[in-house]
Copies of this chain bind each other. A is one copy, B any other.
Amino acid sequence: MRATVIHGERDIRIEEVPDPVLSTGGDAIVRVVAACVCGSDLWGYRGITPTPEPKRIGHEFVGIVEEVGPDVTAVKVGDFVIAPFYDCDFTCINCRNGVSTSCLHGGWWGGTDEFGAFADGAQGERVRVPHANGTLVATPSMPDAALVPSLLTLADVMGTGHHAAVSAGVTPGSTVVVVGDGAVGLCAVIAAARLGAARVIAMSRHPQRQALAREFGATDIVEERGDEGVTRIQELTGGIGADYVLECVGTKESMDQAIRSARPGGMVGYVGVPNGGPELPVRPLFNRNVGVNGGVAPVRNYIEELLPEVLAGVIEPGRVFDLELPLADVAEAYAAMDERRAIKVLLRP
């Protein structure tokens, strides 16, 4: 089959790779219907994360089950399934505690599973899915093609935006600031509005993203950043700051922006993968009782909650995809996101 392989900085190729083969009894082979490029994939693309040897890449996909191992009971051949950006058994204590990203038996696409068997990256034609019973969620019936983009966001960005809001503890009637206007930030706007925030302030400088944020439920847009951004948030919040801030970028600057945008006693929900591991400044947090909660989003735990609203069209997170390309053009997909010509690119094998 064909799959995407990253060879190094700005070197993304489609290659022939071995077809996946069932091996653990509890795994499944899924034919990919749609995959996409993640902001975090750009780290390797940009050379920020080194790629010492070629490796398979991609971690978001939806598809059709083609084969299942003898222990698989939760999905069957022919099902349309959503996979989170990791695999998990969904039965261990951490999964039951709502943190399936810390599954005691889980793993990551493009790596080896707990049995030492390879699990394909998602930007390819097929993926072997370990722990299929826990990892995959089947839709009740074959979804309309128009729903595929939104279903695909449940693999990562919609669940991640939701996690920011849940980690912050967004409450009805509250004021929420969203830092970051990428796909995750835009999905965080949906999540905050969905949880009843009365005011959702999106920080964005891009007219197209601002427009989408407003359609997703943002009530205010702040274009300023840094000190000016903090001042503007203060002006919009009676001089004290926002109840909740959703940090969806992962840089030192964005986290600083988030912390300073929260009111005393406020909470920052953060899901931006810390880029280079910035430390959190404890004094500004301590002095104003601003908390920080979040992390790598356990999106598997959120699929059941969000799926019905996607199927019903109540939320349309798939609108974050503003470019669709065939898998063969995956290199162009990376370039378009790298150059911010696209918010998020959907790939069709």
Known contacts A288-B102, A291-B167; is-contact A94 B265 (Cβ 8 Å): yes
Q: Is the CB of B274 within 8 A of A99?
A: no
B-side contacts of A274, CB under 8 Å:
282-283, 286
| Distance of A289 Cα from B294 Cα, bound (Å) | 5
Contact A93 B238 (CB under 8 A): yes
Say whether A298 contacts B294, CB under 8 Å. Answer: no
A267 surroundings in chain B (CB, below 8 A): 293
Q: Is A204 close to B, CB under 8 A?
A: no
Contacts of A279 in B (CB 8 A): 279-282
Contact A265–B98 (Cβ < 8 Å): yes
B-side contacts of A285, CB under 8 Å: 280, 292, 295
Report the separation of the CA atoms of residues A294 and B292 in the bound assembly, to the nearest whole angstrom.
Answer: 9
A8 at interface by CB-CB < 8 Å: no
Do the beta carbons of A264 and B94 come within 8 Å of each other?
A: yes
Render A78-116 as a binary contact track against B, CB cut-off 8 A, 1 for contact: 000000000000000110011101100000000000000
- What 0/1 readout, one digit per residue, does chain A (278-313) give for beta carbons within 8 Å of chain B? 111111011111111111101000000000000000
CA distance A178 to B19 in the complex (A): 52
In the complex, the answer to whether B291 meets A292 with C-beta atoms within 8 Å is yes
A199 at the interface (CB under 8 A from B): no
Chain B residues whose CB sits within 8 angstroms of the CB of A278 once the complex forms: 282
Sort A-B residue pairs by CB-CB distance and give the 4 closest, nearest first.
Answer: A291-B293, A102-B264, A279-B279, A289-B295
**6 A–B pairs (Cβ distance < 8 Å), ordered by A:** A93-B240, A267-B293, A279-B282, A280-B292, A292-B293, A293-B293
